[in-house]
């Protein structure tokens, strides 16, 4: 009956205790997640530099280990990205919830958690620090050896030196206990799919010194840089509103609205304030809490605002998506569809997908699903995410899908905020707005497939009819020729073809 002890723990400590939440549940999954987080970071850094990503992932075993399933590995990821300013390196790598991606734009990583988790996992499983060697434009380059102070969520700098590096970019080396044997296939799949969603990226994988495979380099075009956007008024929950008022409290309501939100110009602001029946010159800093609350409600519910700006988004695009899929898989037919920009709670999003047929895909009565979120392939935990759920709910049989034609569905959701189910970022939570658009997208693709299949089938029927007719006609012509005592049987082919107007190859 005694009262228990109360204590506060740091976010590092929380994720140290619950590393499964961040995708580090067992040695093979941890190996996969560490690779994924490092590659994700590198791709973001390269795109920020507007440079085709050129990434080299090296995995090697530490020597002289017992031959067990879990071993100590060194992961080394080298990129040609922007590099990190020396002063930010310790926190960016070794402090949970510290990062540069908390702004409103599409990015692969947005949590400020992933790479730090990889370090933390390495540290607790092997006691090794991480090594970061980075160079930004105009600087010489620096090298750090870092650990995480878990109880205080602070970086520990074990070593620092200025160390020249010829090119801009970052090299990160993590030592961790993993299971490469079990993880390797997934890692290869991850790299392959990463270059489908980022066709300009080249990634080289070497294991124990041998180049295992080169991925990507399907395009020289770098996606246009995404813009950082202001929040949309429909994202104005009371927390956001309070923060904006804190920053802009001296502004009159009308100007406050124009300057704090996207899609609110002077005209829209005036209309909205009129609709609210409020004084447009009132300073927001002086508004009562209740007024602020009703302002928030009104902002979220007013239907006079335009859709959110999508210049902060970077979909893969029809050409690139189809091209990179076709390069990796032996596809025969491909269809692309996209929907959006739409919006969930003020966050813009786009869904795009390619439906492809090809002999490499498994035969099934539903398409094989390949999932991407903000250009990151999702390989785990598919079953509880909305992408799989909506795919399964779609009645593919209606669209003439048969086990005879292997079909795959590649689907990409991009948004300023992806509602992931877990910090391991493997599946998308059930958000109605996104679910609805996916449903419509998949139906659209289904209809395209159906049209196409029925055309193929109709054409096959016509061709069969023609062959049959042609055979009979030929017999009649031959018979007529022999009746008329002609020696030469006239050709019938052209005639038949004109009659049916179909390609006899079909």
The residue range among 12-20, 258-266, 277-285, 318-326 that interacts with a copy of itself, by the rule CB under 8 A, is 12-20
Does 232 help bind a copy of itself (rule: CB under 8 A)?
Answer: no
Residues numbered 19 to 58 that lie near a copy of itself (CB under 8 A) are 20-21, 25-26, 29, 48-50
One-letter-per-residue 3-state SS of 116-178: HHHHHHHHHHHCCCEEEEEECCCCCCEEEEEEEECCCCEEEEEEEEECCCCCCEEEEEEEEEE
Do 412 and 373 form a contact (C-beta atoms < 8 A)? yes
How far is Cα 76 from Cα 204, in angstroms, rounded to an integer? 12
Does 136 help bind a copy of itself (rule: CB under 8 A)?
Answer: yes
Site map for a copy of itself, 364-393, x if CB under 8 A? ----------------xxxxx---------
Other C-beta atoms closer than 10 Å to the C-beta of 333 total 15
Q: Which of 109, 112, 231, 340 binds a copy of itself (CB under 8 A)?
A: 112
How far is Cα 147 from Cα 471, in angstroms, rounded to an integer? 81
The residue range among 32-40, 86-94, 304-312, 476-484 that interacts with a copy of itself, by the rule CB under 8 A, is 86-94
Q: Which of 31, 80, 82, 260 binds a copy of itself (CB under 8 A)?
A: 82
Does 398 help bind a copy of itself (rule: CB under 8 A)?
Answer: no
Q: How far is the CB of 368 from a copy of itself (least distance, A)?
A: 17
Q: How far is the CB of 286 from a copy of itself (least distance, A)?
A: 18
Count Cα neighbours of 302 within 13 Å in the Cβ-side half-sphere. Answer: 26
Does 67 help bind a copy of itself (rule: CB under 8 A)?
Answer: no
Q: How far is the CB of 235 from a copy of itself (least distance, A)?
A: 11
> Chain centroid to CA 486: how far?
71
What angle is formed at CA 265 by the lines to CA 261 and CA 267, rounded to 5 degrees?
A: 135
Given the structure tokens 């080169």, which residue do they identify? 214
How far is Cα 500 from Cα 489, in angstroms, rounded to an integer? 21
Closest-CA residue to 241 (of 300, 282, 281): 300
Does 88 help bind a copy of itself (rule: CB under 8 A)?
Answer: yes
Of 96 and 353, the one with the shorter C-beta distance to a copy of itself is: 96
- Residues in contact with a copy of itself, counted by CB under 8 A, come to a total of 72
Q: Which of 60, 100, 248, 459 binds a copy of itself (CB under 8 A)?
A: 100
Q: Which of 109, 367, 424, 446 binds a copy of itself (CB under 8 A)?
A: 424
Does 61 help bind a copy of itself (rule: CB under 8 A)?
Answer: no
Q: How far is the CB of 436 from a copy of itself (least distance, A)?
A: 12
Q: How far is the CB of 134 from a copy of itself (least distance, A)?
A: 12
C-alpha distances in angstroms, 41 versus 69, 95, 191, 411, 442? Answer: 28, 15, 14, 22, 31
Residues numbered 256 to 315 that lie near a copy of itself (CB under 8 A) are 289, 292-293, 296
Residues numbered 144 to 183 that lie near a copy of itself (CB under 8 A) are 150-151
Does 494 help bind a copy of itself (rule: CB under 8 A)?
Answer: no
Do 337 and 433 form a contact (C-beta atoms < 8 A)? no
CA quadruple 368, 374, 375, 376: dihedral positive or negative? negative
């Amino acid at each position: 009956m005694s009262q228990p002890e109360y204590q506060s723990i740091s976010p590092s400590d929380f994720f140290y205790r619950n590393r499964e939440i961040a995708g580090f549940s067992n040695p093979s999954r941890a190996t996969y997640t560490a690779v994924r987080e490092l590659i994700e970071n590198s791709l973001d850094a390269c795109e920020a530099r507007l440079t085709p990503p050129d990434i080299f992932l090296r995995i090697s075993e530490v020597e002289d280990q017992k031959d067990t399933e879990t071993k100590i590995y060194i992961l080394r990821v080298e990129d040609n990205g922007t590099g990190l300013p020396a002063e930010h390196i310790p926190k960016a790598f070794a402090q949970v919830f510290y990062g540069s991606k908390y702004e409103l734009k599409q990015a692969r990583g947005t949590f400020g958690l992933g790479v730090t988790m990889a370090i933390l996992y390495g540290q607790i499983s092997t006691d090794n620090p991480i090594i970061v060697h980075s160079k930004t434009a105009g600087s010489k380059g620096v090298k750090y050896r870092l650990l995480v102070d878990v109880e205080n969520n602070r970086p520990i700098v074990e070593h620092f030196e200025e160390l020249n590096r010829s090119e801009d970019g970052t090299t990160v080396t993590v030592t961790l206990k993993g299971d490469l044997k079990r993880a390797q296939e997934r890692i290869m799949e991850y790299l392959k799919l990463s270059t489908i969603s980022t066709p300009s990226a080249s990634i080289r994988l070497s294991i124990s010194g041998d180049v295992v495979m080169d991925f990507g380099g399907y395009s020289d075009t770098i996606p246009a840089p995404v813009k950082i956007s202001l929040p949309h008024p429909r994202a104005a929950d009371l927390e956001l509103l309070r923060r904006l008022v804190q920053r802009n409290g001296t502004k009159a309501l009308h100007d406050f609205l124009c300057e704090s939100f996207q899609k609110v110009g002077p005209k829209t602001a005036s209309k909205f304030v009129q609709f609210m029946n409020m004084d447009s010159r009132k300073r927001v800093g002086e508004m009562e809490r209740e007024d602020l609350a009703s302002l928030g409600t009104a902002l979220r519910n007013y239907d006079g605002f335009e859709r959110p700006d999508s210049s902060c988004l970077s979909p893969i695009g029809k050409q690139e998506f189809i091209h990179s899929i076709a390069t990796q898989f032996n596809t025969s037919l491909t269809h692309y569809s996209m929907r959006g920009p739409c919006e969930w709670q003020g966050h813009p999003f786009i869904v795009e997908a390619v439906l492809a047929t090809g002999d490499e895909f498994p035969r099934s009565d539903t398409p094989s699903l390949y999932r991407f979120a903000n250009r990151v392939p999702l390989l785990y935990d598919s079953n509880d995410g909305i992408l799989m759920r909506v795919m399964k709910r779609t009645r593919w049989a209606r669209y003439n899908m048969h086990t005879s034609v292997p079909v795959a569905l590649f689907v990409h959701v991009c948004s300023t905020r992806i509602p992931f189910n877990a910090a391991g970022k493997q599946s998308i939570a059930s958000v109605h707005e996104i679910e609805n658009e996916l449903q419509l997208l998949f139906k659209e693709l289904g209809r395209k497939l159906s049209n196409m299949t029925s055309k193929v089938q109709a054409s096959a029927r016509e061709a069969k009819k023609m062959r049959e007719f042609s055979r009979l006609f030929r017999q009649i012509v031959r018979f007529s020729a022999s009746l008329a005592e002609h020696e030469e049987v006239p050709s019938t082919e052209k005639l038949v073809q004109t009659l049916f107007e179909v390609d006899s190859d079909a």
